Amino acid sequence: MPSTIIDSAIFGNIFSSAAMRKVFSDENRTQKYLDIEAALARVQARLGIIPAEAADEIVKNCTLDRIDMTQDITDTATMLQIREALALVDDDLQAISRSMANLAQRHRDTPMVGRSNLQQAVPLTFGYKIAGLLSAIERHRARLAELRPRVLVGEFAGAVGTLASIQKGALETQAGLMQELGLGQPDIAWHTQRDRIAEVGCFLGLVTGTLGKLATDVKLMMQTEVAEVYEPFAPGRGSSSTMPQKRNPIASCYIHACASVVRQHAAALLDAMIADHERSTGPWEIEWISLPEAFLLSAGALGQARSIVGGLEVDVEHMRANLDMTHGLVVSEAVMMGLAPYLGREHAHDLVYDLCRKAIDEKRPLLDLLAETPEITRHVDRKQLQTLCDPANYLGLSGSMVDRVLASVSRPEDSSKGPAPKRVAGR
């Protein structure tokens, strides 16, 4: 009977995925052991270390009850699992990137409130907001391409890593085995140099950290009082058992939970690096606990994020309404900057500051108060003030920055070749 949330028939596909569970299943891991043993036999036969008929017999008899589960076999099997798991992560990142690129392009010029300390700050565009997240996803894709050759290195070295037990063709055997398995050949044994595994854990922590940022913003924008975006609708999903009107950010909640635990596993994998001598007395086993679960929970977060950005509902009208709800206060910086050439920046700041306080106290539009101030109207008329008070006119370089991010998005085929070359475009 399953007893963890990852293997649960109820929660399993919420917090992980069937594909990632398969990668880290006992059956798949055992198959990796068998693959390594069979590959080793084939290589040794080619090098004349063992007879060809012996290799055939070994391959034929690579069954679970005959496997010698040494650390070399276990580490190499782990690398084969990591390779499969990273391919799944890559697929999800590509899909998320595509959906984010579509959102950013579609809403390049959609004005909304930019927020600082949870308060309205200055306007930006929703495309800009999404492009910021997209830029992080693209950096993760670049990191993944960069870490693959560094991380995906096998192990075949003997008791303390010196290959002393192999009398003939040790390095040739090691090289042939790694070639058979499609892994890199190590320069030296890494039994207690666990930075490769830790790097993968940190990578997953970074990825889920960005997904957690996405989830946090979606949760905040889904608040009833904000109502700017919504997770994709599905009948019954996110509803309350007692409050029919509710539409909860359920996928974002799941991402938050997954990301939080993955970060703890990343820390544990860093702790596993602190190993003693050439064979450790415990730190290695931390990886057995943390690495599979880090991947499984990352898969859950990626799946939920993929669903969110693939079907996010954007309420453009409510975004505009939220911009207008302070009756012009959100563009006080724009007004100040517009008046600075006439009044001086410091005086313009103090004057607009006082008028903002008055607008709040009297619950009046900032535009009206500006237009009633002779010190201002002797330089600019109401029509010019109206232009300064329109949030859509104070978006800075939001659109150009969206274009820059979109121009740098790598194509799916680029993901295995390293980071895409940066191309700059503007409008």
| Cβ–Cβ under 8 Å, residues 214 and 220 | no
Examine residue 41 and state whether it is found in any structural domain, yes or no: yes
pLDDT at 419: 40
Residue 350: band (very low, low, confident or very high) from pLDDT cuts 50, 70, 90: very high
**pLDDT of residue 116 exceeding 50:** yes
User: Is 240 marked active-site?
Assistant: yes
User: Which of 106, 240, 345, 357 is an active site residue?
Assistant: 240
| Claim to verify: residue 338 and residue 286 sit in the same structural domain | no
First-to-last C-alpha distance (Å) of the chain: 59
Examine residue 400 and state whether it is found in any structural domain, yes or no: no
| Claim to verify: residue 25 and residue 97 sit in the same structural domain | yes
Examine residue 216 and state whether it is found in any structural domain, yes or no: yes
| Claim to verify: residue 315 and residue 333 sit in the same structural domain | no
Phi, psi for residue 120 in degrees, rounded to 5 = -60, 135
Average pLDDT of the segment spanning 316-345? 94
Residue 81: band (very low, low, confident or very high) from pLDDT cuts 50, 70, 90: very high
Examine residue 427 and state whether it is found in any structural domain, yes or no: no
To the question of pTM greater than 0.75 for the whole model, the response is yes
pLDDT at 239: 59
pLDDT at 61: 78
| Claim to verify: residue 164 and residue 194 sit in the same structural domain | yes
Residue 423: band (very low, low, confident or very high) from pLDDT cuts 50, 70, 90: very low
Report which secondary-structure segment, H or E, holds 250: helix 250-271
Residue 425: band (very low, low, confident or very high) from pLDDT cuts 50, 70, 90: very low
Cα separation, 176 vs 166, whole angstroms? 14
| Claim to verify: residue 29 and residue 73 sit in the same structural domain | yes
Report which secondary-structure segment, H or E, holds 1: none
| Claim to verify: residue 304 and residue 335 sit in the same structural domain | no
pLDDT at 167: 84
| Claim to verify: residue 301 and residue 356 sit in the same structural domain | no
Q: Worst-scoring range by mean pLDDT, 90-104, 245-259, 302-316? A: 245-259
User: What Å distances lie between residue 246 and 225, 316, 324, CA to CA?
Assistant: 13, 21, 25
Examine residue 284 and state whether it is found in any structural domain, yes or no: yes
**From the CB of residue 277, how many other CB atoms can be counted at a distance below 10 Å?**
9
User: Is 46 marked active-site?
Assistant: no
Give residue-wise pLDDT tens across range 153-164: 999 998 899 999
Cα separation, 249 vs 260, whole angstroms? 17
Mean pLDDT estimate for the chain: 90
| Cβ–Cβ under 8 Å, residues 238 and 247 | yes
Examine residue 410 and state whether it is found in any structural domain, yes or no: no
pLDDT at 69: 52
Examine residue 100 and state whether it is found in any structural domain, yes or no: yes
Examine residue 13 and state whether it is found in any structural domain, yes or no: no
| Claim to verify: residue 219 and residue 280 sit in the same structural domain | yes
Instruction: Tell me which of 300, 321, 342 is where a domain ends.
Output: 321
Report which secondary-structure segment, H or E, holds 229: strand 229-230
Instruction: Tell me which of 265, 298, 321 is where a domain ends.
Output: 321
Residue 27: band (very low, low, confident or very high) from pLDDT cuts 50, 70, 90: confident
Cα separation, 178 vs 203, whole angstroms? 24
Q: What is the amino acid identity at position 385?
A: L
Residue 247: band (very low, low, confident or very high) from pLDDT cuts 50, 70, 90: confident
Determine the 3-state secondary structure of 343 from DSSP: helix
Long-range contact list for 259-264, CB < 8 A, 24+ apart?
A: 259/208, 259/209, 259/211, 259/212, 259/215, 259/301, 260/212, 261/293, 261/297, 262/204, 262/205, 262/208, 262/294, 262/297, 262/298, 262/301, 263/205, 263/208, 263/209
**pLDDT of residue 414 exceeding 70:** no
Report which secondary-structure segment, H or E, holds 124: strand 119-125
Cα separation, 172 vs 36, whole angstroms? 16
Q: Identify which has the larger pLDDT, 139 or 68.
A: 139
**pLDDT of residue 427 exceeding 90:** no
Q: What is the amino acid identity at position 204?
A: L
**pLDDT of residue 421 exceeding 50:** no
Report which secondary-structure segment, H or E, holds 137: helix 126-151
| Claim to verify: residue 152 and residue 172 sit in the same structural domain | yes
Q: What is the DSSP letter of 6?
A: T
Q: What is the amino acid identity at position 235?
A: P
pLDDT at 68: 52
Phi, psi for residue 125 in degrees, rounded to 5 = -115, 155
Give residue-wise pLDDT tens across range 362-398: 999 999 999 999 999 999 999 999 999 999 999 999 9
Number of H helices, E strands in the chain: 17, 4
| Claim to verify: residue 378 and residue 232 sit in the same structural domain | no
pLDDT at 72: 83
Domain of 144 in residue numbering reads as 18-321
Q: What is the domain-level CATH number for residue 240?
A: 1.20.200.10
User: Which of 279, 357, 411, 423 is an active site residue?
Assistant: 279
Instruction: Tell me which of 321, 343, 377 is where a domain ends.
Output: 321
Q: What percent of the chain has pLDDT over 70?
A: 92
| Claim to verify: residue 225 and residue 358 sit in the same structural domain | no
| Claim to verify: residue 32 and residue 51 sit in the same structural domain | yes
**pLDDT of residue 2 exceeding 60:** yes
Give residue-wise pLDDT tens across range 38-68: 999 999 999 998 899 989 888 887 765 555 5
Residue 143: band (very low, low, confident or very high) from pLDDT cuts 50, 70, 90: very high
For the residues of 269-335, what is the DSSP string, one character each? HHHTT---TTS-SSHHHHHHHHHHHHHHHHHHHHHHHHHHHHH-EE-HHHHHHHHHTTTTGGGHHHH
306's tokens = 């993929």
Q: Identify which has the larger pLDDT, 419 or 195.
A: 195
Q: Based on the structure, what is the number of domains in the chain?
A: 2
Q: Worst-scoring range by mean pLDDT, 34-48, 170-184, 385-399, 409-423? A: 409-423
Q: What is the domain-level CATH number for residue 333?
A: 1.10.40.30
Long-range contact list for 230-235, CB < 8 A, 24+ apart?
A: 230/312, 230/313, 230/315, 231/307, 231/308, 231/311, 231/312, 231/313, 232/307, 232/308, 232/310, 232/311, 232/312, 232/313, 233/313
